[in-house]
Structure formats: structure tokens, C-alpha cells
Chain A
């Protein structure tokens, strides 16, 4: 079964760090770019980051310098290390699979999301 499963969400205080992960199954993980998208409560979708199959990384403006994307192809897992978290980072974080290994391509599969709440 082709799927993505996120994990690692939780409640954290402002200024702290958190790592969320996404495990893929049912497809050749190493061959595809993997993205992160987030959705704040009651708001629309915001693209966060991507890591291509060859390791190229790109970030959205609001997270650049604070978030780092990585992947472990041997475990079919990508991770998003979030540091210096702010209240506006509170959101459901989704991972999404690209249609190819290239970072400028559409998504074809989404995970169910993991919730990150930043609050004192």
C-alpha cells in the first residue's frame, strides 16, 4: 500500500526545537522528491520545504534559517528539524511525495499530517 505516515508532533514552548518525520511505503522512496506543507488552524495551505532525490533543499521564506529538511533513504524517511519555534509555526504538518525526483514537480501523495502546537 502506497502511503506516507507522519510522526513527532506535539506541544512545545516558543524558542524550542522539534523534529517531525515522515515514513514512506509502497514506493521507491529514494527516487522521489519529498515536500513538507503546513496548515495553521482555520487557514490555508503553506508550502514549507522540499528535498529532491539528489539532496537539493529549498525552503519557504517564513522558515528559512530555522527549519532543516533531511532524509534517510535506507529507512524511507524524511525529517523536518524545526528550531526557534514561534507561535505562528503552530499547524498541521503534512508530508507530500513529488511525482518525480525533481523538486519542481507536483505532488501525488499526501500523508495524514502531524500537529505541532507552539505555546507557553
Chain B
């Protein structure tokens, strides 16, 4: 199975900051990588697919990059509604493993 490692596990940031979350796959997954946002008590929300394609309706301050084994999610100009937990997931082979999550907290 492919393992997905996210870092950091948590980050403290202020409104307006730029936040970068990384996700590393234990083997190459080309660009079969998605990012999700989850707020407490709520279902996850799809943000990015194919490593860098933004889902419809997702603000442009969210961006994704990477290919192969190393990927990043960047949130520019962090907004109050962006404080949440973020997960990466590969869908290259089965099982479609998730990363452990990164909690973005208010500094």
C-alpha cells in the first residue's frame, strides 16, 4: 500500500498569512492527488484534484502543486473560514490512502 505522510501535523497562523502544507507519497503517484478541508463536526469538502486543479467554487487563494511523490497545498492570504483540518489523498492505486491531516489553527 502507498503511505501518505503530511507535514506539519499542525500549524498556527494569522489571518492574512501564507500557509504551506506538504504531502509525500511512499511511491510515485504521478498527479493522482487530492486535497480536502474539514471543519469540526462537518463532512470533508473537496478542494483540489489532479494535484493542482481547483474544484468549482473553491477560492483562488487555494493552490496545489507537485507530481510524483511530493505535493504541496498553499493557502495564500489566510481567511478566518480557512481554519480547519486539511487532508491529502492519493487515488493512483488501491487503497486510496489519506494523509494523517494538518490542523490549521489561529495564532
Contact = CB atoms under 8 A, between A and B. Distances in A.
A61 B46 contact: no
Interface stretch (B17-25, B65-73, B90-98): B90-98
Interface in A22-55: 35, 37, 44-47, 50
B86 to A, nearest CB: 11
Contacts of A50: 94, 96
* Majority secondary structure of chain A interface residues (helix, strand, loop or mixed): strand
Interface residues of B, number: 25
A109 B49 CA distance: 12
A14 interface: no
Interface size class of A (residues with CB under 8 A): 20 to 34
Given A94-B44, A104-B32, A44 B87 contact: yes
In this complex, the member of A45, A103, A112 whose beta carbon has the largest number of chain B beta carbons within 10 angstroms is: A45
A106 B46 contact: yes
Given A104-B32, A104-B92, 9 more contacts: A44-B87, A45-B98, A47-B97, A58-B95, A106-B89, A106-B91, A107-B49, A108-B49, A111-B43
Interface of B: 1, 32, 34, 36, 38, 43-46, 49-50, 55, 87, 89, 91-101
